[in-house]
């Protein structure tokens, strides 16, 4: 026996050292990566990229509240001025015309390269007459005041067409020279960070920089009443990280405190407490190391979930200690009797958790690996290492009196059989009544962002007209030029949809930076000076505008014929630089042009996705994918849910198969499963009746009720032939349930929806599983009084 013990101890120490070494290298995250798919489709990849690195992920929506409109606008200008000087921010927009001068210059000088109207036909006599006639008619309009001065140099109106295209789209309201919300109660700024949305530390620093810049600008009485509000993906992610971090720490401390208190109450012995926590610590350490090795990082949510492991793994030590008795009540060591039951219990738990391993939802897969590893290691430690460490003559306080009281209770539990049947039927009826709204189908249900923050975000977004890029067409190409050319071609396919009212508008990087080929083609459609002069004379013959007045036009066209095509560098210092960079991105070694679509009627109607897809599929040119990001994220979630149902079913099947194989009796399997099914039904009914719609995490929780609850049912089953479980077994089961409930129950109070969902399901479920098992297993016995 000695060498085996030494070997077990040596293996245990080696394992601990190895795990600690792995953990020292581990990256812990608390961002939203747990909610993103592991093996995304092309559309999902785009969604993920947008969420993590896209232009939308870098937008901060800033609002200044309080004070009067003037104070808010002044604060907005002061804040914007500071942020513009900060290299951490790429764009700071608040309604001030900062880039206007540069923008106009760039458009004006490059109008023949940028204007989509530039084509050979436009510079024939007929084309010129039509275009110039249009410009002359415009002089009658109030806009004529603006365009009159442009006429001699730009009689075809290219500049105006460009300005109109860039100024189209909803722009925020103004108050006192700065953007304001529609109700006028907030000054608004739109800030884009240079750092990617996935760079959480940089996002946090940027948010802090905005706040400190705001504080620094607050001087004077007028600024006293002002306050700053921020929203946006970066803010959400940073807040979520802080919440998850705080939660994990809080949960870990609380659950440890509860379990320690409980154990001290049971054991009344400090050595027992320390030894009892040994399997827990070993299991947790090994679990973290396993997740780190398997996923490359450990998510905060996984650690938060780990508190449940504390409650679960401590059970094995409880069973061991409570039933360990050198001079046991039956006169012999009880160990051999209960280990098979525990082994079966551990295996059913593993069946449940292992199902999660196969989930495409990284959050779940991590939970699965964490739990399986944790349970196996904790159980193994309790079985092989802990006995080796028990001092000779180790014993804890005798819990038999408590056990006997429990035995008495259990003996009377059979009277509750019919009420249990009634309760189960009522639960089934309640579920049937609510069958239409059992499942929540939105990914947002998992979002760690509080609903109040989501509402603020929506309000700011609506007021700012900020792109939420719900609909976007993506054109992928091996290089930048091909992506731009693709964007132009796809733009041509979208253009007819504007007229048909399917789309309100679309953006394209090619609007800001046409492909070199297009620019050269436009340049080539400009006739040489002599030819243009002749055609111009013909064109203006019937117009009240004589060709002599248009001498500047001839000179500028000639200059444009010699102008080099625009490059990305030429956009520097204008607001088009950012637009081009946001819409033309390099990802995973290839280039993607993003064409965000605007819904028709100012967003009042939804975009008919089928029509857009049909338009994009009309020829086999550039590869364009239409993505409805909201729809895609919901589809993503629906996929998770579908998969989770399948996995839950597979897990359940594995548990049933395992029980059938071990117990070799359909009646006993049914006996074990019946109370668990009743517990699941009762929990689901309870959740539905309290207004909760079930998410994927509730489903996981239900599976865990079966996996964890089967342990209790098995103990009752083992004792079914006899007069029921021994008093010590009963006492240890009660303790085990209490620690489990403490672990899962704590999660119920978490503000992270994922953890809360599991907690509210498994916490009550574990208790019900124990009670229902006691009820179904018990039978009237003539006399159970201690003799």
Is the Cα torsion angle 104, 110, 115, 117 positive or negative in sign?
Answer: positive
Closest distance of CB 147 from other proteins, Å: 11
Nearer of residues 148 and 332 to other proteins, judged by Cβ: 148
- Stretch of 165-173, 430-438, 460-468, 610-618 contacting other proteins, by CB under 8 A: 165-173
Q: Write out the binding residues for other proteins, residues 57-116 only, by CB under 8 A.
A: 97
For other proteins, the binding residue among 211, 435, 437, 549 (CB under 8 A) is: 549
- Stretch of 117-125, 161-169, 404-412, 565-573 contacting other proteins, by CB under 8 A: 161-169
Closest CA to 476 of 631, 580, 578, 626: 626
- Stretch of 120-128, 135-143, 259-267, 635-643 contacting other proteins, by CB under 8 A: 135-143
Q: Write out the binding residues for other proteins, residues 697-736 only, by CB under 8 A.
A: none
Nearer of residues 90 and 152 to other proteins, judged by Cβ: 152
Closest CA to 534 of 123, 235, 122: 123
Q: Does 145 bind other proteins (CB under 8 A)?
A: yes
Q: Does 182 bind other proteins (CB under 8 A)?
A: no
CA distance 577 to 114: 14
Q: Does 595 bind other proteins (CB under 8 A)?
A: no
CA distance 691 to 421: 24
Q: Write out the binding residues for other proteins, residues 4-23 only, by CB under 8 A.
A: none
Asked if 27 contacts 296 with a C-beta cutoff of 8 angstroms, the reply is yes
For other proteins, the binding residue among 14, 458, 546, 567 (CB under 8 A) is: 546
Residues 6 or more apart whose Cβ sits within 8 Å of residue 170: 465, 602
For other proteins, the binding residue among 3, 87, 142, 691 (CB under 8 A) is: 142
Closest distance of CB 140 from other proteins, Å: 4
Nearer of residues 139 and 638 to other proteins, judged by Cβ: 139
Strands 28-29 and 298-299: parallel
The 610-639 site mask, x for binding other proteins (CB under 8 A), equals ------------------------------
Burial 129-163 (b: 16+ CB within 10 A, else e): bebbbebbebeeeeeeeebeebbebbbbbbbbbbb
Write the DSSP string, 199-235. -HHHHHHHHHHHHHHHHHH--SGGGTT-EEEEESHHH
- Stretch of 144-152, 204-212, 315-323, 526-534 contacting other proteins, by CB under 8 A: 144-152
Rama region for 177: left / alpha / beta (φ>0; ψ in -120 to 50; rest): left
Closest distance of CB 551 from other proteins, Å: 12
For other proteins, the binding residue among 20, 42, 143, 421 (CB under 8 A) is: 143
Closest distance of CB 168 from other proteins, Å: 7
Closest distance of CB 307 from other proteins, Å: 55
CA distance 184 to 281: 57
Closest distance of CB 174 from other proteins, Å: 5
Q: How many residues lie near other proteins (CB under 8 A)?
A: 24
Closest distance of CB 545 from other proteins, Å: 6
For other proteins, the binding residue among 148, 605, 613, 779 (CB under 8 A) is: 148
For residue 676, what are its two tokens? 């668990």
Closest distance of CB 171 from other proteins, Å: 7
Q: Does 152 bind other proteins (CB under 8 A)?
A: yes
For other proteins, the binding residue among 40, 177, 360, 552 (CB under 8 A) is: 177
Nearer of residues 148 and 611 to other proteins, judged by Cβ: 148
Residues 6 or more apart whose Cβ sits within 8 Å of residue 171: 465
CA distance 746 to 739: 11
Nearer of residues 175 and 379 to other proteins, judged by Cβ: 175
Q: Does 174 bind other proteins (CB under 8 A)?
A: yes
For other proteins, the binding residue among 544, 589, 780, 782 (CB under 8 A) is: 544
DSSP for residue 180: E
Q: Is 125 exposed, middle or buried (0-12, 13-18, 19+ CB in 10 A)?
A: middle
- Stretch of 168-176, 426-434, 520-528, 739-747 contacting other proteins, by CB under 8 A: 168-176
Q: Does 541 bind other proteins (CB under 8 A)?
A: no
- Stretch of 44-52, 143-151, 464-472, 761-769 contacting other proteins, by CB under 8 A: 143-151
In Å, the largest CA–CA distance within the chain is 124
Alpha helices in 358-474 (DSSP H): 362-380, 386-389, 400-412, 417-433, 451-464
Q: Does 126 bind other proteins (CB under 8 A)?
A: no
Closest distance of CB 61 from other proteins, Å: 21
C-alpha of 660 from chain center = 39
Strands 505-506 and 59-65: unpaired
Q: If DSSP states are collapsed to H, E and C, what string results for 642-706?
A: HHHHHHHHHHHHHHHHHHHHHHCCHHHHHHHHHHHHHHHHHHHHHHHHCCCCECHHHHHHHHHHH
For other proteins, the binding residue among 69, 136, 599, 638 (CB under 8 A) is: 136
The torsion angles phi and psi of 597, rounded to 5 degrees, stand at -105, 145
For other proteins, the binding residue among 66, 90, 144, 450 (CB under 8 A) is: 144
- Residues at the site binding other proteins, with contacts judged by CB under 8 A: 97, 136-137, 139-146, 148, 151-152, 164, 167-168, 171, 174, 177, 544-546, 549
């Amino acid at each position: 026996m000695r060498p085996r013990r030494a070997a077990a101890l040596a293996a245990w120490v080696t394992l601990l050292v190895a795990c600690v070494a792995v953990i020292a290298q581990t990256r812990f995250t608390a961002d939203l990566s747990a909610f993103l798919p592991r093996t995304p489709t092309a559309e999902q990849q785009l969604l993920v990229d947008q969420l993590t690195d896209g232009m939308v992920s870098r937008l901060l929506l800033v609002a200044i509240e309080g004070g009067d409109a003037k104070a808010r606008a002044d604060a907005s200008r002061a804040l914007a001025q500071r942020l513009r000087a900060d290299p951490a921010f790429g764009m700071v927009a608040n309604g001030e015309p900062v880039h206007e001068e540069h923008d106009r210059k760039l458009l004006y000088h490059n109008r023949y390269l940028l204007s989509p109207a530039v084509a050979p036909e436009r510079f024939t006599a007929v084309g010129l007459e039509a275009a110039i006639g249009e410009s002359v008619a415009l002089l009658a309009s109030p806009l004529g005041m603006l365009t009159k001065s442009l006429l001699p140099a730009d009689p075809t109106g290219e500049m105006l067409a460009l300005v109109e295209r860039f100024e189209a789209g909803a722009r925020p309201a103004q108050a006192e020279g700065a953007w304001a919300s529609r109700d006028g109660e907030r000054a608004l700024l739109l800030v884009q960070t240079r750092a990617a949305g996935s760079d959480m530390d940089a996002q946090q620093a940027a948010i802090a920089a905005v706040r400190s810049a705001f504080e620094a600008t607050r001087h004077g009485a007028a600024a006293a009443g002002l306050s700053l509000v921020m929203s946006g993906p970066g803010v959400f992610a940073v807040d979520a990280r802080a919440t998850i971090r705080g939660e994990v720490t809080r949960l870990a401390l609380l659950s440890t405190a509860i379990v320690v208190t409980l154990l001290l109450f049971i054991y009344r012995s400090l050595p027992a407490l320390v030894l009892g926590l040994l399997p827990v610590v070993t299991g947790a350490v090994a679990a973290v190391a396993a997740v780190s090795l398997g996923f490359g990082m450990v998510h905060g949510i996984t650690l938060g979930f780990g508190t449940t492991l504390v409650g679960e793994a401590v059970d094995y030590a409880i069973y061991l200690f409570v039933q360990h008795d050198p001079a046991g009540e039956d006169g012999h060591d009880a160990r051999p009797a209960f280990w098979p039951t525990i082994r079966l219990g551990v295996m059913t738990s593993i069946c449940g958790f292992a199902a999660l391993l196969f989930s495409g939802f990284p959050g779940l897969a991590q939970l699965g690996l964490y739990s399986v590893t944790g349970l196996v290691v904790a159980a193994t430690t309790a079985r092989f290492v802990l006995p080796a460490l028990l001092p000779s003559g180790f014993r804890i306080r005798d819990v038999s009196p408590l056990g006997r009281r429990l035995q008495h209770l259990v003996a009377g539990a059979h009277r509750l059989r019919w009420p249990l049947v009634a309760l189960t039927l009522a639960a089934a009826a309640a579920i049937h009544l609510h069958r239409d709204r059992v499942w929540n189908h939105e990914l947002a249900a998992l979002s760690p962002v509080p609903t109040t923050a989501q509402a603020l975000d929506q309000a700011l977004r609506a007021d700012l007209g900020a792109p939420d890029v719900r609909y976007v067409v993506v054109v992928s190409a091996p290089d930048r030029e091909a992506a731009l050319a693709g964007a132009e071609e796809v733009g041509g396919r979208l253009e007819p949809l504007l007229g048909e009212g399917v789309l309100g508008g679309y953006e394209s990087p090619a609007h800001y930076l046409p492909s070199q080929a297009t620019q050269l083609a436009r340049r080539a459609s400009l006739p040489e000076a002599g030819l243009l002069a002749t055609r111009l004379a013909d064109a203006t013959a019937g117009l009240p505008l004589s060709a002599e007045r248009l001498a500047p036009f001839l000179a500028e066209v000639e200059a444009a014929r010699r102008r080099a095509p625009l490059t990305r560098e030429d956009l520097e210092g204008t607001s088009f630089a950012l637009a081009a960079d946001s819409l033309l991105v390099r990802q995973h070694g290839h280039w993607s042009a993003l064409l965000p679509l605007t819904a028709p009627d100012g967003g009042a109607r939804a975009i008919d996705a089928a029509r857009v897809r049909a338009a994009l599929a009309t020829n086999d040119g550039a590869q364009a994918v239409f993505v409805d990001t909201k729809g895609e994220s919901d589809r993503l979630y629906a996929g998770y849910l579908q998969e989770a149902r399948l996995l839950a079913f597979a897990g359940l099947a594995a548990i049933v198969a395992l029980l059938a194989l071990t117990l070799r009796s359909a009646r006993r399997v049914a006996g074990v499963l019946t109370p668990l099914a009743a517990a699941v039904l009762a929990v689901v009914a309870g959740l539905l009746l309290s207004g909760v719609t079930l998410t994927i995490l509730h489903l996981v929780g239900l599976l865990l009720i079966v996996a964890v609850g089967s342990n209790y049912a098995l103990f009752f089953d083992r004792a079914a032939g006899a007069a029921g479980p021994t008093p010590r077994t009963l006492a240890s089961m009660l303790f085990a349930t209490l620690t489990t409930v403490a672990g899962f129950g704590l999660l119920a109070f978490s503000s992270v929806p994922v953890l809360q969902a599991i907690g509210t399901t498994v916490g009550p479920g574990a208790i019900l599983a124990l009670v229902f098992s006691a009820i179904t297993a018990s039978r009237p016995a003539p006399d159970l009084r201690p003799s």
